[in-house]
């Protein structure tokens, strides 16, 4: 593609600019549909995995998850190239965790803030985080 610009008051009345130009994609390549834990969620289990669902298939190595405070022993698994689940050792308890998604250019986050954050609850034994106390009454 060559772009010609006419400038009548210069000694050379036109300038040609050559090169290759490409328009940005018209659709985002990785719009995020949802994350879990959700932004602003409270009392999240310290054992809960982080799950990110994309609208379109992603390259396995196209995203990097950055966390403050750091998450120990983070590993991931993809489902159908659109959902990635990050497993880890327990989160720090009673802490606000900020998660930043460092993605390839063109990956839009949609309505999800980047970073998003959630707050964990107290550390209980696995499987007991969501049990409510049982009240016994006597007659």
Residues facing residue 3 across a β-bridge:
17
Check whether domain 32-119 has CATH 2.60.120.330, yes or no: no
Per-residue pLDDT tens digits for 20-74: 444 444 455 558 889 999 999 999 999 999 999 988 888 877 788 899 999 999 9
Position 128 scores a pLDDT of 58
Q: Are 86 and 49 in contact (CB under 8 A)?
A: yes
pLDDT band at 7 (very low <50, low <70, confident <90, very high): very low
Q: Where are the domains of the chain?
A: 32-119
| CA–CA gap between residue 56 and residue 30 (Å, rounded) | 6
Per-residue pLDDT tens digits for 71-107: 999 999 999 989 999 999 999 999 999 998 887 555 6
111: pLDDT strictly greater than 90: no
Residues 6 or more apart in contact with residue 99 via CB below 8 angstroms? 35, 50, 65, 66, 67, 115, 116, 117, 118
């Amino acid at each position: 593609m060559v772009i010609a610009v006419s400038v009548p008051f210069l000694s050379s009345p036109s300038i040609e600019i050559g090169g290759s130009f490409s328009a940005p994609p018209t659709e985002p390549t990785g719009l995020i549909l949802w994350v879990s834990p959700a932004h602003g969620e409270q009392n999240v289990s310290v054992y809960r995995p982080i799950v990110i669902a994309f609208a379109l298939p992603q390259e396995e190595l196209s995203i990097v998850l950055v966390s403050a405070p750091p998450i120990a022993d983070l590993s991931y698994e993809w489902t159908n190239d659109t959902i990635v689940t990050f497993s880890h050792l327990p989160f720090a308890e009673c802490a606000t965790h900020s998660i930043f998604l460092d993605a390839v250019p063109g990956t839009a986050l949609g309505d999800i803030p980047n970073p998003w954050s959630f707050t964990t609850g107290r550390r209980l034994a696995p499987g007991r985080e969501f049990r409510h106390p049982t009240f016994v009454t006597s007659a």
